[in-house]
Amino acid sequence: MQLDETRLILIRHAHVDSGKNGRRMCGWLDLPLSSTGELQLQCLRGEPSEFKPDAVYASSSLRARLTAETLAANWRLPVTTDPDLREINSGALEGMLIEEVKHRFPDLWTRNASQDDADFAWPNGETYKNFRERVFRALDLIASRHRNARIPVVTHTGVIAQAVGAIKGLSPAVWEHHRAGPLTATEVIWRDGVPVQLLSFNVSGWWREL
């Protein structure tokens, strides 16, 4: 590891309960973990990693915080939460079923699905450009506090997609290409304010290998 760089282990939170009627718009919506998510956390409790970082960070959203607290308990560390590590803000459409969005707002959905407009935002929501800027500020602050270390950050698939997309030179509007699964880890090297190298992506059972 070079001087002034940090390895960030970006961990997506455990599985959430999005309801029986299908997937929902879930950015800042604070959904609880599902029964599947609770079982995933039991794996963390039952197979603690011998690796012990200097700190554990998490999005302030409940699903990320609960995941981080379970992980940090194994290492007897506190969790530092940051609202800037949250998922993208979907504004007025938070909580709406995806199929309903497609039906009621077909033009908006088409613009979003094209993944070529970094200034796209849902009504009263956040643009992809601003989303990347927000989460990169938060991640850079973590990296600057822990130079030459490996630090776990429990966050969301959108945040992880932004980090991977930046490494690959993709627009902030590209959200579909790198969707990490629940309770997977993606590790990046962070240097000079940005992610510069992808070490692993969407790894299950990562805590056994740390």
Domain annotation for the chain: domains and CATH numbers:
5-208 (3.40.50.1240)
Whole-number Cα distances in Å, 166 to 27, 174, 194: 20, 10, 8
Return the structure tokens found at 107: 């033009």
Q: Check whether 62 has a pLDDT greater than 90.
A: yes
Q: Give the model confidence (pLDDT) of 2-58 as tens digits.
A: 668 999 999 999 999 876 666 889 999 998 999 999 999 999 898 878 899 999 999
At 21 the pLDDT is 65
Distance CA 24, CA 90 (A): 11
The predicted model gives 114-132 an average pLDDT of 97
Axis crossing angle, helix 157-167 with helix 128-145, rounded to the nearest 10: 90
Beta strands 185-191 and 5-12, pairing class: antiparallel
Q: Give the model confidence (pLDDT) of 84-111 as tens digits.
A: 999 999 999 999 999 999 999 999 999 9
Which of the four pLDDT bands, split at 50, 70 and 90, describes residue 204?
very high
Distance CA 198, CA 162 (A): 12
At 2 the pLDDT is 63
Average pLDDT, the chain: 94
